[in-house]
Amino acid sequence: MSLNIKNRLIRVADFVEGKRLADIGSDHAYLPIYLAKNNKISFAIAGEVVEGPHKSSIQNVKDNNLEELIECRKGSGLEVVELADNIDVITICGMGGKLIADILEAGKKKLENRPQLILQPNVAGNLVREKLQQLNYNIIAEDILEEDGHIYEIIVAQYGTMELTETELIFGKFLPDNQNEAFKQKYKIELEKIDYILEQLKNAKNVDDNKIISLQNQKNMIKNILG
């Protein structure tokens, strides 16, 4: 059966090093199926909290004759993972950064085996980086791409300490040094949003000076990064 997998998930697959995968919020199990078909994994959990996508994952795994290799489990976040599963890579893709950070915090006991983490926030990547730092994870690679009108960051981390600067938390540890079109596009959009808000604030009856200063600082940071 042909697989209608998104480019953003293929990019995630390129970073997978472990053989035993837990894909959380598995989006119809496309990523585990793709990895299995390319002989990159020996076992996978496709985790889903919602009944519809969970049933869809089961059907897709069945259609691809991969029931012996991929288990579809229903549950919230990392509760679908047991330490006995010996998972060595966890992927959480296509969600907001706050949700990804919350999933990691709620399931941090499931990280005792120190799996590789590959996370793909579509907003608020800073919250993901902050959480990784708190959980003693070190970012070893990053990527950013645009697909279907959304910009996705990919953050790859392994167990180990790091101390990120404020700039690295916001813009990434590696992304500012390798600015591709998606990175530039993301922050051009941010600048437009800030300019719009500043205009609105200037015309407001009660001017919030602190808010204006904060937005100007954000604007200056982005301009400095973009050069």
For 53-71, what is each residue's pLDDT tens digit? 999 999 999 999 999 999 9
Angle CA 58–8–85, to nearest 5: 45
Q: What's the pTM value of the predicted model, to 2 decimals?
A: 0.94
For residue 207, pLDDT over 80 is answered with no
**Model pLDDT for residues 93-109, shown as the tens digit of each residue:** 999 999 999 999 999 99
pLDDT of amino acid 210: 87
| Packed helices 125-134 and 97-106: angle between N→C axes, nearest 10 degrees | 20
Contact criterion met (CB below 8 Å) for 147 and 121? no
Could you tell me which of 170, 12, 167, 15 has the C-alpha nearest to residue 92? 12
The fold for domain 7-168 equals: Rossmann fold (3.40.50)
Q: Give the mean pLDDT of 40-56.
A: 96
Could you tell me which of 116, 93, 95, 92 has the C-alpha nearest to residue 104? 92
